[in-house]
Amino acid sequence: MSAHTDTNTGPLEYRSKEGRMNILGFWIFLGAEVVLFSTLFATYAVLFGRTADAPAPSELFEMPMVLIMTFLLLTSSFTCGIAIHHMRRGSLKGLVVWLIVTLALGLGFLGFEIYEFVHYAHEGASLPSSAFWSAFFVLTGTHGLHVLLGISWAVLILIQLRQRGLTPVTSRKVFVVGLYWHFLDVIWIFIFTSVYLIGMVV
Amino acid sequence: MSELTKRVPKQHIVGFIGSIVLTVLAAWTAVGSNLPVPWIITAIMVLAVIQAFIQLFMFMHMTETDSGKIQAGNMLYGFFIAVVIVAGSIWTMSFGYTHDHGGNSDTEQHEEHMDH
Amino acid sequence: MDLLNFLLEDFFVTGQPLIYGAMVSIVLVSFAIVFVLTYFKKWGWLWREWLTTVDHKKIGIMYIIAALAMLFRGGVDALMMRVQLTLPGMEFLDSQHYNEIFTTHGTIMIIFMAMPFLIGLMNYIVPLQIGARDVAFPFLNALSFWSFAFGALLFNISFVIGGSPDAGWTSYTPMAGANLNPGPAQNYYLMGLQVSGIGTLATGINFIVTILKMRAPGMHMMRMPIFTWSTLITSIIIVFAFPILTVALALMTIDRIFGSHFFTLTGEGMPMMWANLFWLWGHPEVYIVILPAFGIFSEIISTFARKQLFGYKAMVYSMVVIAALSFVVWVHHFFTMGAGGAVNSFFSITTMLIAVPTGVKIFNWLGTMYKGRIRFDTPMLWSLAFIPCFVIGGVTGVMLAMAAADYQYHNTYFLVAHFHYVLIAGTVFGCFAGLTYWYPKMFGHKLNEKIGKISFWFFVIGFNICFFPMYFLGLAGMPRRTYTIEPEWMPLNVTASIGAVLMAIGFVIFVYNIYYSFRYSKRETTGDAWDGRALEWATTTPVPFYNFATLPHIDGSEAFWRLKERGGSTYETDKLKPIHMPSDSGVPFIMMALMFVASFALVWEWITLAIVGLIGVIVCMVIRSFDYDDGFYVSVDEIKRTEEKAREGEQ
């Protein structure tokens, strides 16, 4: 449809009809992601306790590390919000700086997650150990993979920001990757709660 | 629009502090409080849902623009389906359906046999 | 030597005369296609006009052609099954081959025939019905099509390379697990569905945004044609159901290739969890393939009864209710698993509830025809035949919904008869009706009415002769998926096989009609072949690539009917403005071809090649991300030239 004829005074990413449709489409995609993760949660819940000969989760889960990971991701979600805020103020520099901080925090999270997986494997809990551990690794691993994807995607968009500056198209892309990032935080909150906390209690 | 002039908007700071507090509260409820397990699970799930809404409203601006209602409806329907999938699967796969897990000794022997 | 051994023993399927025949014909047909394209120098045309297109109309046509090919493949499978089951002790197929054929028949008919056929019709018609110039995300639309096409290709080559999956279209574990079902066959099922599932999800998102955001000015939600409504509801179900399948398939793939224990008997896995996840997707899937058909019948019945659709709002609300209820009935597919009384009772009740909104629609259609001046053209005949046949399927569905009674019907031919009565009478009749109805819009001429009616009668009579006896076979205890029958079931099985042959004749006549009409049918000079009511008929035939030169203002339901009454048009020279259109792209085709390589490698568990293919897919995504091509504008002069040429015949 007619591009960029729809101007209003709102945020840059909503100025074109394409921009608005892309963002709506991405929201709907996030709806699909909710279903994807809830299927993994359902599988995890049904297979809970089926550890066979492998260690039980309560033997392996440790509060300090899980809390650090959670805070890293929560903070990155906050800094991502600040980045978008700077974009809406028209500050390319602020946007880039806060986005890089966000990605650094995301990388930190991934580092901890990889360490955690390796540690569990040493303790005798890996993907093929039992139904429970299969479900654990696939659920948290899928989330980790999404984080990795989010980081790589954001790097691509940082390059485009450098090439083109803030335009309706680049700011729409930043906004969408921002939505993705916050969404991964939402998923993590539920992993933190229903996998780690419940795993430590039951 | 006065929010736009600030370097760090108040809404985001409130959201951030809120999520940190809720996380610590959930962690304490799980390992520090002496509540019965079903209560703990209920409490921390409620805290998680509140946090999810903080992200959706304060960070993701879910209700922004003329598509706001669609976006919110979409996420609500997503949560409805999520509850159906999780609660429905647990209910279906556990209620009255125990013949292959921890049941009588015949079943366990059978399972051992399959291991080899 | 090792390579040769591998090729002869594992890679190619050997030892079946039928499959050797298929191999030879595949090679011959491929050579013929390559030869024709080269001889007539059509490679460039194929690439420019079809493989790289993002035009919703061309994508729709490609979907329909592919779906007809799949209907042929699935139909041949069906005929082979009927031959084997006609007489007791037949030795036409051995049990293994029979297992493979009922598996591919079911999978192909649902995933690669019914869905793409309907999605093809949606693609062509929905943007026209709402007055849009394309879908919201044309690039994504092309990606959807190619993901379906390559997924279908992957699934279909299994029968000559590596062997067909044989665990049924439901692929229950542990039978479909690595222990009992080693080798590539089951992986083909997993990867074929996975690849095409990506595209289906993208289609769902695409149509939701298109319908919500790209309607012509004045077309409120409650003024949309009912087929568009059914597409919207279907898309919503797709978006919320397909991720479940994605996860289920991925989990089984990880089980089989990387040794996890989701659905295994060892490691405390839970085989029935597969069934649970499969049907969590599978039941909404039933509505994904039936709702668009309901939409098609509604359009046709209203047009040929020459009346406005009766109870439009009831129709819309009943679809909304179905969208919600379709997610809470899934356990009725495995009542016999042995869940407790509360679980089975709950799902029994929800299943009966969902019959209510479906029943409402029947009365809508009857009400529409009441006191209408009905024309009996072929599309209307399909729609009329649909109603009683579908009611038979629906009523037997309610019988199956009673959990206690289901213990008797479960896994018998009663079930087979039931779901063929809903899926063929609903979806297949709907596809034939829709294709015949919109054919003049797509190709500029009608399908021949006389041949169309002959094909209709063969197919519908054959359908009832084939499937009605199966209810009684089921009650007589004949189990589904059996490869050989008992003597006492012979008479009804012979009857069913005769019906199947009549259906096949009906299909062949339908296809012949496409050829015959292409040669001899009168060309359409106006865009309005059937005295239609919705906006798709307002365009010229053939439809210009930008669909509408100018968009009419919509002031009520049945947009085109009102337009005709007041003498409006979609070509108002004083309102012409340059039209923005998206550019074609070869990326979707190449990306999905690489995805095909990756998933083919995964089928054979060649991990290195799979990673290489996946990297190729990622490279395509990066290229797309850096592509800032914004499309192009069609000038007013070009619009004028196109419209004058298209409207020559009208005066």
Instruction: Provide, as residue numbers in chain B, all residues whose Cβ is less than 8 Å from the Cβ of C210.
Output: none
Among chain A residues, the shortest Cα distance to C631 is held by A3
Predicted pLDDT at C97: 93
Scan for tokens 């009766």, then name that residue: C310
Chain B CB contacts of A10 below 8 Å? 65
pLDDT for position C649: 61
Residues B51 and B102 in one domain: no
Other chains touching C, judged by 3 or more CB pairs under 8 Å: A, B
Q: SS3 of A44, please? A: helix
For A130, the closest of C268, C280, C628 (CB atoms) is: C268
Name residues whose C-beta falls within 8 Å of residue B109's C-beta, 6 or more positions apart in sequence.
none
- Output the pLDDT for position B113: 40
CB atoms within 10 A of CB A111: 12
Residue C198 and residue C292 in one domain: yes
pLDDT of res. C159: 87
Rounded CA-CA distance C377/C306 in Å is: 12
pLDDT at res. C648: 76
Average pLDDT rounded to a whole number, residues C594-604:
96
Residue C563, CA distances (Å) to C536, C560, C643 in order:
12, 5, 18
Rounded to two decimals, the ipTM of the complex is: 0.94
Task: Please enumerate in sequence order all residues whose Cβ is within 8 A of that of C90, keeping only pairs 6 or more positions apart, or say none.
Answer: C83, C84, C484
C196-245 pLDDT, tens digit each? 999 999 999 999 999 999 999 999 999 999 999 999 999 999 999 999 99
pLDDT for residue B105? 41
User: Out of C239, C259, C630, whose CB is closest to A128?
Assistant: C259
B9 touches chain A (CB under 8 A): yes
Tell me if A38 and B37 make a contact (CB, 8 A cut-off).
no
Last residue of a domain, one of B40, B61, B82: B61
CB contact under 8 A, B97 and C236: no
Q: Is A90 helix (H, G, I), strand (E, B) or coil?
A: coil
Cβ-contact A165, A57 below 8 angstroms: no
CA distance A57 to A130: 12
- For A193-202, B40-49, C147-156, C568-577, which range has the lowest pLDDT when averaged over its residues? C568-577
What is the domain range of residue C2? 1-41
β C632-634/C579-581 pair status:
antiparallel
Residues of B in contact with A14 (CB under 8 A): 64-65
Chain C: nearest CA to A25, how far in angstroms? Answer: 6
pLDDT, one tens digit per residue, over A152-185 is: 999 999 999 999 999 999 999 999 999 999 999 9
Which of B75, B85, B101, B115 should be substituted to probe chain C, the one whose Cβ sees the most C Cβ atoms within 10 Å? B85
Please tell me whether residues C29 and C170 are part of one structural domain.
no
| Statement to judge: residues B5 and B53 lie in one domain | yes
Given an 8 Å threshold on Cβ–Cβ distance, is B77 in contact with C236? Answer: yes
pLDDT score of B3:
57
Is residue C623, in this structure, part of any structural domain at all? Answer: no
Inform me whether the pLDDT recorded for B102 exceeds 60: no
Please state, in angstroms and rounded to a whole number, the distance separating the CA atoms of residues C211 and A130: 46
Which one is predicted more confidently, C59 or C567? C59
Q: Based on the domain organization, do B55 and B12 belong to the same domain?
A: yes
Give the residues across from C633 on adjacent strands.
C580
Of B77, B97, B111, the CB nearest to C337: B97
Stretch 163-222 of chain C: residues touching chain A, C-beta under 8 Å: 201, 204-206, 208-209, 212-214
Average pLDDT value over all residues in chain C? 94
Residues of A in contact with C213 (CB under 8 A): 17, 20-21, 24
Question: CB A193 to CB B40 under 8 A?
Answer: no
The shortest CB-CB distance from A52 to any of C260, C267, C280 is to C267
CA C433 – CA C300 distance, rounded (Å): 8
C-beta atoms of C343 and B96 within 8 A: yes
Q: Is A134 on the interface with C (CB under 8 A)?
A: yes
Same domain, C5 and C138: no
Distance from CA of C498 to the nearest CA of B (A): 42
Note whether C30 and C174 are same-domain residues.
no
Contact residues, B window 31-90, toward C, CB-based 8 Å cutoff: 67, 70, 77-78, 80-81, 84-85, 88-89
B22-59: b (≥16 Cβ within 10 Å) or e: bbebbbebbeeeeeeeeebbebbbebbeebbebbbebb
Lowest mean pLDDT among A125-129, B74-78, C15-19: C15-19
Q: Kindly report, residue by residue over C246-280, the tens digit of the pLDDT.
A: 999 999 999 999 999 999 999 999 999 999 999 99
**Chain A residues close to C251, C-beta within 8 Å:** 43, 138
Residues B56 and B71 in one domain: no
In angstroms and rounded to an integer, the radius of gyration of the C-alpha atoms of chain C is: 25
CB A127 to CB C254 under 8 A? Answer: yes
Find the closest chain A residue to B88 by CA distance: A42
HSE-up of residue A169 (Cα within 13 Å, Cβ side): 14
Angstrom CA distances, C236 to A24, A91, C197, C268, C394, stand at 14, 38, 15, 35, 23
Which pLDDT band holds residue A6 (cuts at 50, 70, 90)?
Answer: very low
- Give residue C525's pLDDT: 83
CB pair distance less than 8 Å for C265 and B111: yes
Residue in C514, C438, C409, C425 with CA at minimum distance from that of residue C468: C425
Same domain, residue pair C424 and C573: yes
The residues, ordered by sequence, that sit 6+ positions from C86 with a Cβ below 8 Å of its Cβ are C490, C493, C494, C497
Say if residue B110's pLDDT is above 60.
no
**DSSP class of C164:** -
Residue reference for tokens 């800032």: C628
CATH number at residue A121: 1.20.120.80
A21, C209: Cβ pair inside 8 Å? yes
In-domain check, residue A7: no
- Distance of alpha carbon C470 from alpha carbon C476, whole angstroms: 9
Domain that holds residue A178: 13-201
Domain of residue B86 covers: 64-116
| CA–CA dist A82, A94 (Å, integer) | 9
Residue C318 lies in a domain: yes
What does the alpha-carbon distance between residue C280 and residue C124 come to, in Å, rounded to a whole number?
30
Q: State whether C343 and B91 contact (CB < 8 Å).
A: yes
Percent of chain C with pLDDT over 90: 86
> Can you give the pLDDT at residue B64?
84
Of residues A32, A116, A137, the one with CA closest to residue A68: A116
Say if residues A120 and A60 touch (Cβ distance below 8 Å). yes
Residues 6 or more apart in contact with residue B88 via CB below 8 angstroms: A42, C280, C328, C330
| A neighbours by CB contacts (3+ pairs under 8 Å) | B, C
C202: distance to nearest CA of chain B, Å? Answer: 16
Alpha-helical segments (H) within C158-270: 184-213, 226-258
pLDDT given for residue B109 in this prediction: 39
CA C287, CA C357: separation in Å to the nearest integer? 12
Contact status of C387 with chain B (Cβ, < 8 Å): no
The residue whose two tokens read 């542990």 is C174
- Is the pLDDT confidence value at C298 over 80? yes
Contacts of A42 in chain B (CB under 8 A): 85-86, 88-90
* Residue C309 phi, psi (nearest 5): -60, 130
Q: How sure is the predictor about C532, in pLDDT bands with cuts at 50, 70 and 90?
A: very high
Number of domains forming the structure of chain A: 1
Q: State pLDDT tens for residues C94-125.
A: 999 999 999 999 999 999 999 999 999 999 99
Which DSSP helix (H) or strand (E) runs through C580?
strand C579-581
- At B101, the pLDDT band (50, 70, 90 cuts) reads very low
- For testing the chain A interface, which of B41, B44, B83, B85 should be mutated: the one with the most A CBs within 10 Å? B85
Q: Rounded to whole angstroms, how far apart are CA atoms B82 and C404? A: 29
Q: What are the residues whose beta carbons fall under 8 Å from the beta carbon of C378, sequence distance 6 or more?
A: C433, C436, C447, C449, C452, C453, C456
In angstroms and rounded to an integer, the radius of gyration of the C-alpha atoms of chain A is 19
C142 and C166 in a single domain? The answer is: yes
pLDDT tens column, C635-647: 999 999 998 888 8
Residue C523: phi and psi, rounded to 5, are -75, 145
Beta bridge partners of C519: none
Contact at CB, A128 and C246, closer than 8 angstroms? no
**Partners of chain B (3+ Cβ pairs below 8 A):** A, C
pLDDT in the model for residue B108: 39
Q: Is residue C257 part of a domain?
A: yes
The crossing angle, in degrees rounded to 10, of helices C587-603 and C184-213 is: 150
Residue of B nearest to C342 (CA): B95
Euclidean distance between CA atoms C397 and C329, whole angstroms:
12
Tell me the DSSP string of C265-302: SSTT--HHHHHHHHHHHHHHHHHHHHHHHHHHHHHHHH
Give the model's pLDDT for residue B116.
Answer: 37
Q: What's the confidence (pLDDT) of residue B96?
A: 64
Which residue does chain C place closest to A24, by CA atoms? Answer: C209
Q: What is the pLDDT, as a whole number, of residue A108? A: 97
Domain count, chain B: 2
Residue with tokens 């019914």: C114
Q: What secondary structure letter does DSSP report for C581?
A: E
**Using the beta-carbon criterion (under 8 Å), do B31 and A10 form an inter-chain contact?**
no
pTM of the model: 0.94
- Taking only the tens place, the pLDDT of each residue in C453-472 is 999 999 999 999 999 999 99
The SS3 of residue A5 is coil
Q: Are residues B82 and B111 in the same domain?
A: yes
Residue C622 lies in a domain: no
Return d(Cα C566, Cα C562) in angstroms, integer.
6
Contact between A52 and C241 using a beta-carbon 8 Å cutoff:
no
- Are B69 and B113 members of one domain? yes
- C-beta of residue B1 within 8 angstroms of C-beta of residue A165: no
Query: What is the predicted pLDDT for the residue at B97?
Result: 56
Same domain, B90 and B114: yes
Best mutation target among B67, B81, B112 (most C Cβ atoms within 10 Å) is B81
* pLDDT given at position C573: 86
Does C572 lie in the same domain as C531?
yes
Question: Is C579 strand, coil or helix?
Answer: strand
Residues C73 and C28 in one domain: no
Element (H, E) at C548: none
Interface check A24 vs C, CB under 8 A: yes
Quick one: C2 and C68 in the same domain? no
Binned at pLDDT 50, 70 and 90, residue C650 comes out as low
Domain count, chain C: 2
Q: What are phi and psi of A136, to 5 degrees?
A: -60, -50
C49 and C17 housed in the same domain: no
Domain assignment of residue A45, yes or no: yes
Interchain pair C270, B78: CB under 8 A: no
Check whether residue B105 and residue B77 sit in a common domain.
Answer: yes
Q: What is the pLDDT of residue C572?
A: 87
* pLDDT of C371: 92
Reply yes or no: is the peptide bond before residue C182 cis, omega within 30 of 0: no
- Provide the Cα torsion A52, A55, A59, A64; round to 10°: -110
What is the mean pLDDT of the segment spanning C418-441?
97
Query: Using the beta-carbon criterion (under 8 Å), do C201 and A32 form an inter-chain contact?
Result: yes
Burial of C521-532, coded b for 16+ CB within 10 Å and e otherwise, reads beebeebbbbeb
Q: Is B21 on the interface with A (CB under 8 A)?
A: no
DSSP string, chain B: -GGGGSSS-HHHHHHHHHHHHHHHHHHHHHHTS---HHHHHHHHHHHHHHHHHHIIIIIS-TT-STTHHHHHHHHHHHHHHHHHHHHHHHHHHHTT--TTSS--HHHHHHHHHHH-
Of C133, C212, C628, the CB nearest to A169: C628
Please report the residues numbered 52 through 91 in chain B whose beta carbons come closer than 8 angstroms to any beta carbon of chain A. 52, 55-56, 58-60, 62, 64-67, 70-71, 74-75, 77-79, 81-83, 85-86, 88-90
Same-domain status, C157 and C34: no
